[in-house]
Every structure is written in structure tokens, then in C-alpha cells.
Structure 1
Amino acid sequence: MKKTLVFGASLKPYRYSHIAIKRLVEAGEEVLAFGLREGHVAGVRIVTSCDNFEGVDTVTLYMNPKRQRQFYETVINLKPRRVIFNPGTENPEFYDLLAAADIEVEVACTLVMLSTGQYH
């Protein structure tokens, strides 16, 4: 099964990253979560380190471009097939770095992709 990493996961129920975790789980996806605070959402543990992630197919970003900068190398080293830039996370500088590492860039909304059957 392909793993999705929700990057910028939040424990706050009104945040889109929180909703995305729930919807991904409901869709039967294997979900990992990285955030600034540890906790659980829909049975998924949010961790504050990416050190133990392996086999990540998709990273779906929920972190503003300024904050992303410190995680460029972390995301690239995960070697995902693609990175989804959700609304508010658009970052041309990061697109270029990912493309240079042969990682697909999608500027889209994970929630819309799930609801329209376009996630995979």
C-alpha cells in the first residue's frame, strides 16, 4: 500500500491538515503525519521527527512557504514519488528543488483530489 505523509499536521479539528488525515484514513490510505506537536488524529500518530519514515509515496504539504524552507532537505531525502502543494503552500523555489530531485510536484488540494477520485 502506498503511504501518504501529511506534512504540517495539526491537532486542531478546524485545520485542513486535520481534515485531510481523517479523509485519507476514511479512503483506506496508509497515513503518516508530521507536525510541530505530537498527538493522534483518526488513529494516526502525529510525530515531530521524520527520522523513521520509509516508503513514502506522497507528501501532502500543509505548511506555509517560509516554514517549509527548513524542511526542504528532509522532504527530498524521503524520496517520495510526489509532493502535493495544497492551497496556501505554493512555493516555486521548492518546486525547482523537487524537480531537480526527480520528484513530481502537484499544486492541488488533497481534499478535492480525494472527493473527485483523482488522488492516485
Structure 2
Amino acid sequence: MKNTLIIGASSNPSRYAYLAAQRLTAMGHSIFLLGRRKGSVLGQEIHLEKINLSDIDTVTLYVNPSHQPEYYDYIISLEPKRVIFNPGTENPEFEIMLRSKNIIPVQGCTLVMLASGQY
């Protein structure tokens, strides 16, 4: 199972980040939530400040590219194996930075990856 940080987490059940949190948890993955608004998902707090984490396998982004630069250093410091750029979050500049640190950027959809066994 993969420890996953969801950046752009939302307590709104109609948001894809919320659905991803639900499905990741249902499939046995540990999730950590970072967002721009207070709330909770499945009893877990959405953190507004960057939290100290270790052993993160995957970061999945639900944040517009214009808001991603504030997370660059933080994500790189976590040393995840990969970062998933969900539809609408694609960011060629950040992908280059990740590759230079041996972190795999993935343009894909976390929900589709989970449903198809590619996660």
C-alpha cells in the first residue's frame, strides 16, 4: 500500500480530490491531506500548513498550476517516488524539476489509475 499526500484536498464530496481520498482509503492506502480550506475527509483533518511527513510514495495534485510553485520545495523535500498531475494540473516546468530530482511525474487521473489497477 502506498502512503499518498493529496494536495488540494477538499471536504466537498463532489470534488475529485474528495473522491480520490475515499477510493484510496477504500483500497487500503494511507492518505494525508493538504488543502486551502479547513475541513475533514473520512475523519482526517485537511491541513492548511505543510506538514512533516516521511515515507511518502505518491503525491497527487488537485491544485491549479498557478498555485503549485508554493509547493515545489515542499514536495521535492518529501522525496516521493512520483507526483501525479491530475487533469487540469499539468505543469511542464515542475515536471522538469521533479525529473532532475529522480521523481517521476505522471500525467494521469488518480481515480482512473485506481480503477484500472495502475496505481
CA shift digits 1:78-113 (9 cap, x unpaired): 110000000000000000000111101110000000
Q: Is the aligned partner of 1:50 residue 2:75?
A: no
1:1-120 correspondence runs (5 A): 1-119=1-119
Q: Which has the higher strand share?
A: 1
Aligned length: 119
Aligned amino acid, residue 23 of structure 1:
R
Shift of 1:45: 2.1
Q: Which 4+ residue blocks in structure 1 deviate beyond 3 angstroms? A: none
Shift of 1:36: 1.0
CA shift digits 1:25-81 (9 cap, x unpaired): 111111111101232112322111223211111000000100001111111111100
TM-score, length-scaled by structure 1: 0.94
2-structure distance, mates of 1:30, 1:117: 17
Aligned amino acid, residue 96 of structure 1:
I
Structure 1 unaligned segments of length 5 or more: list them: none
Structure 2 unaligned segments of length 5 or more: list them: none
TM-score, length-scaled by structure 2: 0.95
SS at match of 1:56: coil
